[in-house]
């Protein structure tokens, strides 16, 4: 049986007083998620292994059944794979955000969701001014970019910028975890402070400020690592051919290491205005020739980071009506059965605007299976699901 995972990044949340004590998933109108829950089997999945930060790289790798303590090397290396950067021995990759700093305050992690076109000009400028034989910046998507350091020591204490909006940035600068990493920490902190000097008056930022937008006036490197030793999904589960569909370099990079074909969809943005329909039809087209498709939609996570409850509800409803509906209804016409799983990777509660490690709800629908008693899909309904709480590779093995 073929399989598709439809993942709404950060979709899970906590009860919100303004919603009458409901979560955005409970409050949203999601007839197709509820239909699949009623027809399928539900439960919770522990996506953040003990001792790990609840990052999207950790959670999405866990959804695919990877043993994090064995293969985790941070998100920088995954994003390197996505944009075609092959890491050599001794090279350390880091996610490098373009952020907005106002005075001493880290205003936001995304420089107001700067466009890729604007960001590319800034990344090229950073290479011109700060790059060297040892230091190289690579353009990613929107605010998400890559920094590669030759001879870097990854034993660093780095703070993800989306965890600390509106906090003073200097106490959050990079710290060595061992004395041997002091030189790398000093180098990176020097790059951060120098980037603030050279970016503040760049024409891209002057134009953004004049238009009332946030400036991309600092870099923020984090999540260091080296090339990981990840098996492909064919090696782990016998999947002959699979695909990944996402606007996010991190997820695409996981797909590269997992041996999945990366499918590009025009208009896929990683925000609420992403091309939901395009992603749905691309997934269906891929399923015609593939055994497995991983369809990732980032929008709910970004809404959670912004603390925008109404927008988060809208993104959940968009995922339901503009992607899940299309996929479910089209698959009903197929002769070959396809298993469908729907889940977030981690919660991103609007109240705290960052990720938590709470187990997430999931559903698995397989045509002809015996459903459990759950008839709607949210964080609390699945507590009555048949699967209980799964962890490690139990979810992916159950789906496949």
The pLDDT of residue 53: 87
pLDDT digits (tens, 9 = 90+) for 192-229: 999 999 999 999 999 999 999 999 999 999 999 998 88
* Domain spans, the chain: 2-72+229-399, 87-226
Q: How many CB atoms neighbour CB 63 within 10 A? A: 26
The pLDDT of residue 3: 98
> Is 95 within 8 Å of 223 (Cβ atoms)?
yes
Q: What is the mean pLDDT of the chain?
A: 95
The pLDDT of residue 270: 85
Reference 291, options 264, 333, 260; nearest CA is: 260
The pLDDT of residue 368: 92
Residues 6 or more apart whose CB falls under 8 angstroms from that of 122 comprise: 98, 199, 202, 204, 205, 216
> Is 10 within 8 Å of 355 (Cβ atoms)?
yes
Residues 6 or more apart whose CB falls under 8 angstroms from that of 57 comprise: 72, 74, 75, 78, 223, 250, 254
pLDDT digits (tens, 9 = 90+) for 228-282: 889 999 999 999 999 999 998 889 999 999 999 999 999 998 889 999 999 999 9
What homologous superfamily does CATH list for 2-72+229-399? Alkaline Phosphatase, subunit A (3.40.720.10)
For the residues of 139-170, what is the DSSP string, one character each? EEETTEEEEEEET----EE---GGG-TTEESG
Report how far apart, in Å, the C-alpha atoms of 358 and of each of 25, 76, 165, 309 are. 15, 24, 21, 19
Could you tell me which residues are beta bridge partners of residue 44? 361, 389
Q: How many CB atoms neighbour CB 21 within 10 A? A: 10
Instruction: Enumerate residue ranges in the chain where pLDDT < 70.
Output: none
> Is 244 within 8 Å of 115 (Cβ atoms)?
no
Q: Where are the alpha helices (DSSP H) in the chain?
A: 24-27, 31-39, 56-63, 68-71, 76-82, 116-130, 182-199, 203-210, 233-237, 249-257, 276-287, 299-305, 309-319, 325-331, 394-399
The pLDDT of residue 84: 87
Query: Measured in whole angstroms, how far is the alpha carbon of residue 337 from the centre of its chain?
Result: 29
> Is 316 within 8 Å of 343 (Cβ atoms)?
no
């Amino acid at each position: 049986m073929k399989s598709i995972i439809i993942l709404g990044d950060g979709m899970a949340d906590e009860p919100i007083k303004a919603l009458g004590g409901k979560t955005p998933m409970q409050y949203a109108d999601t007839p197709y998620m509820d239909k699949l829950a009623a027809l399928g089997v539900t439960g919770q999945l522990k996506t953040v292994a003990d001792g790990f930060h609840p990052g999207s790289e950790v959670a999405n790798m866990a959804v695919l059944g990877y043993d994090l303590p064995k293969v985790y090397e941070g998100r920088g290396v995954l994003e390197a794979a996505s944009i075609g950067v092959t890491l050599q021995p001794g090279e350390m990759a880091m996610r490098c955000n373009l952020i907005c700093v106002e005075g001493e305050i880290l205003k936001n992690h995304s420089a107001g969701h700067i466009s890729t076109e604007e960001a590319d000009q800034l990344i090229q400028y950073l290479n011109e001014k700060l790059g060297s034989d040892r230091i190289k910046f690579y353009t990613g998507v929107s605010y998400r970019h890559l920094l590669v350091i030759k001879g870097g020591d990854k034993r660093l204490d780095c703070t993800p910028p989306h965890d600390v909006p509106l906090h003073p940035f200097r106490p959050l600068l990079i710290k060595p975890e061992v004395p041997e990493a002091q030189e790398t920490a000093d180098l990176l902190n020097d790059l951060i402070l120098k980037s603030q000097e050279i970016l503040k008056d760049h024409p891209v930022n002057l134009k953004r400020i004049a238009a009332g937008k946030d400036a991309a006036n600092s870099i923020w490197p984090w999540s260091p690592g080296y090339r990981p030793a990840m098996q492909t999904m064919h090696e782990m589960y016998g999947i002959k051919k699979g695909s990944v569909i996402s606007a996010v370099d991190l997820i695409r990079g996981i797909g590269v290491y997992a041996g999945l074909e990366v499918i590009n969809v025009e208009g896929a943005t990683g925000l609420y205005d992403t091309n939901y329909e395009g992603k749905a039809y691309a997934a269906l087209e891929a399923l015609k020739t593939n055994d497995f498709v991983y369809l990732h939609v980032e929008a709910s996570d970004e809404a959670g980071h912004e603390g925008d409850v109404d927008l988060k509800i809208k993104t959940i409803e968009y995922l339901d009506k503009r992607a899940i509906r299309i996929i479910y209804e089209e698959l009903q016409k197929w002769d070959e059965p396809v298993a469908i799983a729907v889940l977030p990777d981690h919660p991103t509660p609007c109240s705290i605007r960052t990720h938590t490690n709470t187990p997430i709800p999931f559903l698995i629908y397989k045509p002809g299976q015996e459903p459990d008693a759950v008839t709607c899909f949210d964080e609390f309904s699945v507590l009555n699901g048949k699967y209980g709480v799964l962890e490690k590779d139990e979810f992916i093995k159950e789906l496949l």
